[in-house]
Every structure is written in C-alpha cells, then in structure tokens.
Amino acid sequence: MFKSFLCVVMAGFFGMAPSASASFSQRYVSQAPFSSALQALPQPTIDNVVDRAHELLGKPYKSGGTSLEQGFDCSGLLVYLFKTEANIVIPRTTAAMHRSTAATIKADALQPGDAVFFKANGSSQIGHVGLYVGEGKFIHSPRQGKNIRIDSLANTYWKKNYTTAKRFHAVR
C-alpha cells in the first residue's frame, strides 16, 4: 500500500500521471489544516540561542559546568545553548569546537550565533569561546568567580586575543 502511494506521489511530481496527481490533491485536501498547524509550531532557530544566552546573564561560571544547576564554563555554555535552543550538537570543549569542520567565519562576516574564539592569556593556544550576539558584542562565561556577561570584541584584551569564529548553524 505504501509503495503504491509513494509511486502515485512520485508520478504526480514528475507529471507522468496528471490524473493521479489531481486525485491525490483532491483526496488529501482535508489534511491541509494539519500541515498548517505543523508549520505554525515554533521551529528552533539561532535567534532562540541568542535570546536564551541573554536570559543567562549573571549565572555563575563553573569549571566543567554544562547546566543551569551546575553553572557553565565557556564551552559548556555554548553546548547547552545550541542543544537546548536549536537542537544542534556541538563539540564539548573549546579546542574541539575550534578544530571542528564547522565553517570558519571572518571577523567582518560575523552573525549572531557564531562562536568566537580567543587565545588563552599569554598563550598561542585557543583557550576561550563565546557567543557572538551582534553589534560587536559576545556573551560568555569568563572564569572562576565571574558570571556570564556581555563583552565587546573591541575591548583591548579581547581584540588582542581574538583568533577566529565558527558557525555551527545554517545561515539565515
């Protein structure tokens, strides 16, 4: 039954059976409200990630933290945001995120939701990641004793240590 249904649909799409296509359309018109309802459901987007990041401002840093209960380290924050708000699974550590095959983004092409990477203070290795939120700013979980906050890429420290960005989401 399913195979014949699939053949009718395929034939209709390729114009090989116009009458089958017409009867298919007439037979399944009653499902239109159902498909409309599905389209009305909110779809996960990168905007959800950015909005949720703003809601987490002030939450504590916690080394190894990946949850609201624990607090967040820098990479744990991004893992949490992408998974819970956009159903996107990204690597757990900053280094693994940076090594990933996700698209590398130039600084002048940053879009909200891009992951921005920084060298560790005085090191050549990547040691920190944040979430770009637009207007030259990013949200991150900085270090022990600090809370999730917004900083500017133009800040002397961040500008000096900025390395690159990655895009783990589809372009809008």
The fraction of the chain above a pLDDT of 70, given in percent, is 74
Q: What is the CA radius of gyration of the chain?
A: 22
- Residue with structure tokens 């159903």? 87
Q: Is 69 helix (H, G, I), strand (E, B) or coil?
A: coil
Could you read off the pLDDT of 12-58 as tens digits, one per residue?
A: 434 444 444 333 333 333 444 444 444 554 556 899 999 999 999 99
Average per-residue pLDDT in the chain?
Answer: 82
Residue 58 φ/ψ, nearest 5 degrees:
95, -15
- Write down the pLDDT at residue 109: 97
- Residue with structure tokens 């203070």? 121
pLDDT of residue 11 exceeding 80, the answer is: no
Which residues does the annotation mark as catalytic? 74, 128, 140
Rounded-to-integer distance, Cα 77 and Cα 69, Å: 12
Report DSSP state, residue 143: S
Could you read off the pLDDT of 71-98 as tens digits, one per residue?
A: 999 999 999 999 999 999 999 999 999 9
Give which of 90, 71, 172 is closest to 131, Cα–Cα: 90
Could you read off the pLDDT of 125-134 as tens digits, one per residue?
A: 999 999 999 9
Task: Grade residue 170 by pLDDT with cuts at 50, 70 and 90.
Answer: confident
E-strand stretches of the chain:
66-67, 71-72, 103-105, 115-119, 126-134, 137-140, 149-152, 162-167
Phi-psi region at 71: left, alpha or beta (left = phi > 0; alpha = psi -120 to 50): left
Q: Is 170 helix (H, G, I), strand (E, B) or coil?
A: coil
Task: Grade residue 171 by pLDDT with cuts at 50, 70 and 90.
Answer: confident
CB 43 within 8 A of CB 85: no
